[in-house]
Structure 1
């Protein structure tokens, strides 16, 4: 596993944009119009930059899988985060989806365990490389990283078919939230 830097932005944004194109949770907060794919790239770009400020970003050794991880209590540079949040509203959610995004984030934060957390915000594999063990190897390395840091790994998924994969690695559903879709919250 390679700790990513700003130089890895393009490859990470490409991998996650392709991986999350049909994701219900992501599409819930993106304006659904002819610019949807561009907005998804901007959301992933925003998430990448937030994780560089307040977490860690990793690539698999072969650079076909990546993960964005947050330390939820870390607030980093508040001015930079404010600028990123404003860009997110303008370029991705618009005012119409902003309230949905805020309600969802508030609901997630309300039920998160009150422990030192390692939040796996995004994990994805280049679609042509899926099913070959790249994601599994990276997820195990991320779990090991959380353990070394003495933190509980948490994540959310709206993709029900991914639940068996996460449970294979020891994740358990600790809550689920209902929006226009079901969001499963898991911890390791």
Structure 2
């Protein structure tokens, strides 16, 4: 039987937050943001809640029907040239807002947001896989691959690239199997692990 996937809604918020919290408790990047294991168990879910709310508002969360895995996608538009002088109010500082919402005394919450923002490719519109989480007891069943397949198929048919940051060497290998390629410059978190920015060109004929 195939994996049944649906689009998550507001009613799935708590399920998605809980799933991401469990899936990323021992992730190298989450462990760097919250080094103390006990504190991470108490606080990590707040960061997952911020991510979930952001994608529910501006992107799409794909969820397996049994709630064992989810993928958070954001469509990123092509950059537009801004005028040299603008009368618009400056945009809100998102990393600061995230830190205030999650853990105000933890500089790493803000830093990880700034660092990933800094390596994010610009120019072309693309689909951004923000996170993909699989329940610890269900990993290795192909749920993550199934979640990504439909989106990547659509990217191929529409000629749209995709982008993600792998937070582990194992994840990097899995994404390479799906056509993602390392961009060539890893992000080394201060006193912490590496992250691998990865880009995927659409497969098939691309119309200029």
Aligned to 2:204: none
**Which residue number corresponds to residue 119 of structure 2?**
108
**Pairs within 5 Å for 1:1-188:** 1-30=5-34, 32=36, 34-73=38-77, 86=97, 88-92=99-103, 94=105, 96-98=107-109, 100-109=111-120, 112-147=121-156, 150-175=159-184, 176-179=186-189, 180-188=192-200
RMSD (CA atoms): 2.7
Contact preservation (8 Å) 1:156, 1:184? yes
CA deviation vs aligned residue, 1:123-154 (integer Å, no higher than 9, x gap): 01111111112111112123124345543111
Q: Cα distance, 1:31 vs. partner?
A: 6.6
| Distance across 1 between alignment mates of 2:117 and 2:98 | 20
Q: Which one is further off, 60-69 or 23-32?
A: 23-32
Q: Which residue of 2 aligns with 1:77?
A: none
Task: Report Cα offsets for 1:47-90 as digits up to 9, x if no partner.
Answer: 0000112211110233211011112349xxxxxx8799636424
Structure 1 residues 42 and 27: alpha-carbon distance in aligned structure 2, compared to 1, 3 A threshold: same
> Aligned partners of 1:170 and 1:101: how far apart in 2?
26
Higher Rg = 2
**Aligned-residue offset at 1:169:** 0.9
Aligned residue for 1:35, secondary structure, equals helix
Structure with bigger RCO (C-alpha 8 Å, 6+ apart): 1
**Structure with the higher helix share, 1 or 2:** 1
TM-score with structure 2 setting the length: 0.74
Q: How many residues align?
A: 180
| 1:102–1:127 Cα change, 3 Å | closer
CA distance in 2, matches of 1:57, 1:89: 24
Q: Is the 8 A contact 2:95 2:113 kept in 1?
A: no
- Return closer, same or farther for 1:6/1:48 CA change in 2, 3 Å cut-off: same
Task: Report the secondary structure of 2:124's partner residue.
Answer: coil
Structure 2 unmatched ranges of 5 or more: 79-91, 201-208
